[in-house]
């Protein structure tokens, strides 16, 4: 069976992608499993650039078809920030709790109706020869006034979905994967990978 490299060291993402991409005719492997320690810097100005950069670099390093993503949170009251800087918005080595605290502090005077936000995800799938395909997904919601929920990772505990009256961190993984930015992008990625498998 052909291998597909999940080009991320984030355990939360790996867990979600193993569920989202299950039943594909690929063996899903991680950077650690392939003994790849290189870190590809996210130097792009957009989610698309960063996802493409990482997928190409890891495909060349591993000589495997590689899937990389870049994702983040855009908050209207902050002019679209943190955006591509979501992971480092509170500092290079900040924890999820620090990131959330930092954002809530910046939004403390913003009323509920103006706390609109969206999660965005762009997935890049690259071959060792440098061919790349991109797909994306979005999920819209509000930034909650406080953290709620124990599941998920990153900003999930403060990303509130009005239709469900829950934050992303309060959702079972199966529901999250149906509505999340990563889930929507992964559904498109599944189709790309199925087509790719047929062309090998």
Catalytic sites, residue numbers: 70
CB atoms within 10 A of CB 179: 17
Secondary structure, 3-state, 114-181: HCEEEEEEEEEEECCCCCEEEEEEEEEEEECCCCCCCCCCCCHHHEEECCCCEEHHHCCHHHHHHHCH
| Residue burial 88-111, b: 16+ Cβ < 10 Å; e: rest | ebbeeeeebeebbeebeebbeebe
Residues 138/118, Cβ–Cβ less than 8 Å? yes
Alpha carbons 182 and 185: distance in angstroms, whole number = 5
Bridge partner residues of 117 (DSSP):
75, 141
> Among 65, 57, 60, 62, which residue's Cα sits nearest to residue 39?
57
């Amino acid at each position: 069976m052909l291998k597909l490299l999940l080009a991320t060291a984030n355990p939360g993402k790996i867990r979600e992608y193993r569920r989202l991409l299950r039943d594909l005719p690929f063996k899903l492997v991680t950077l650690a499993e392939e003994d790849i320690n290189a870190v590809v810097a996210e130097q792009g100005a957009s989610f698309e650039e960063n996802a493409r950069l990482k997928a190409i670099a890891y495909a060349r390093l591993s000589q495997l078809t590689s899937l990389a993503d870049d994702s983040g949170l855009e908050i209207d009251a902050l002019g679209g920030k943190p955006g591509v800087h979501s992971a480092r918005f509170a500092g290079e080595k900040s924890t999820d709790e620090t990131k959330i605290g930092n954002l809530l502090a910046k939004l403390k005077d913003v009323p509920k109706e103006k706390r609109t936000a969206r999660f965005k995800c762009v997935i890049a799938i690259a071959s060792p020869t440098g061919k790349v395909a991109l797909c994306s997904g979005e999920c819209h919601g509000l930034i909650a006034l406080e953290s709620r929920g124990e599941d998920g990772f990153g900003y999930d505990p403060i990303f509130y979905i009005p239709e469900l009256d829950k934050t992303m961190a309060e959702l079972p993984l199966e529901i999250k994967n149906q509505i999340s930015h990563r889930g929507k992008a992964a559904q498109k990625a599944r189709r790309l990978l199925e087509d790719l498998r047929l062309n090998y």
